[in-house]
Structure 1
């Protein structure tokens, strides 16, 4: 019952923040942005881990770090570094639950995504003489790619979908910031972001598949 109420509150507060909170004042915007993440952390804390309490602790810490990143992302490099640390927690947590290697048919798209984003977005920064920013972008692409990779190894549906949605959210934000403006950017980024964090939190109560993996049962 408590989890259902928290999930409802996450959805409602997410909708309020995304569609109804004005850009100014910034301090109030940041405050409202953090409320859904605080609720997601509470949601994670109510989950009963099926196999590992350690996984719950690591993922909850990752959620907390990401909440801090949400607040400091207005100072872009500080936010980037903080999200980087949050992804490290997720990687460690997913590695703790990792079962088997990533199948080739899933590994190839991930690697192509990483290479494509690095060449496209970081390449533009290098061409503009922004060496430090280009290196930072490559490092961040590497960490979110690793996060997605480790999530697939867990064989947990919620963790996998959550990680892929996180990658989608970051990709939309990066394209809008460094390449060209995207319509409805804020809504697209935040809907996929809140959904990603909620699913990662919910993965604490997931079961891990114990059978061999193929295209049809990767995320069962």
Structure 2
């Protein structure tokens, strides 16, 4: 991790710039450029970590990061962007199952289920009122997948992974509420700060995974 720490430092700097200091009059292309730089740093960091390894956790999480980056770029076409993030979450689920250590606690399962019911009823209820049934189905599917991703994260017994998944769930929930229910003050800050936090935690988890594996082999 220390070897490539400059990539994480670069990601944090650009994330802070994008969230707090990016001029509002920038072109859409330039805005997207600054938005994905942190993600590119995360992808390169994971790719370089234990380079040459065919480790399943690293491979699937890396693919998840790539699809989330595609989602960042294409979210202006909402369904396409949503589909990219959905695929990314599926790969995160696969990654987490590679390092499964414990069953998901029943309390966590119940709380995630209750949260899903509330957020789904709130968000999808508003979409159905608009008459867009296709979008309703897409959002229901997405909510189910991201809740499954959060549920699977608990099976890793890694606080880094669990908090990453919960931050991602929070980010997407704020985005959905802001887009379909009501305007949320400082929504852009809340969405992107929790999103980047989730992705950097997932990225760090790869380095921690290899460190733990080496300790076990010593």
For normalisation by structure 2, the TM-score amounts to 0.90
Q: How does 1:1-220 map to 2 (within 5 A)?
A: 1-23=2-24, 24-48=26-50, 53-207=55-209
- Residue-by-residue CA offset, 1:17-67 (whole Å, 9 max, x unaligned): 111223431011011111110011122223349x98111011011101111
CA positional deviation for 1:129: 1.4
The answer on whether the counterparts of 1:84 and 1:140 sit within 8 Å (CA) in structure 2 is yes
- Secondary structure of the residue aligned to 1:206 is helix
Relative to structure 1, the CA distance from residue 111 to residue 128 in structure 2 (aligned partners, 3 Å threshold; closer, same or farther) is same
Is the helix fraction higher in 1 or 2? 2
| SS of alignment partner, residue 115 of structure 1 | helix
Offset at residue 100 of structure 1 (A)? 2.3
Contact persistence 1:156–1:207 (CA under 8 A): no
Q: 8 Å contact 1:158–1:199 — kept in the other structure?
A: yes
Measured in 2, the distance between the counterparts of 1:7 and 1:38 equals 10
Q: Which runs of 5+ in 2 are unaligned?
A: 211-218
- Structure 1, unpaired ranges of 5+: 209-220
> TM (normalized to structure 1)?
0.89
Equivalents in 2 of 1:128, 1:31: separation in Å? 33
SS in 1 for 2:140: helix
Could you say what the CA RMSD is over the residues aligned between the two structures, in angstroms?
1.8
CA distance in 1, matches of 2:69, 2:130: 32
Contact 1:55–1:97 at 8 Å: present in 2 too?
Answer: yes
How much does 1:124 deviate?
1.4
Q: What's the CA shift for 1:127?
A: 2.3
Q: 1: distance between equivalents of 2:82 and 2:14?
A: 24
CA 89–99 in structure 1, closer or farther in 2 if over 3 Å, else same? same
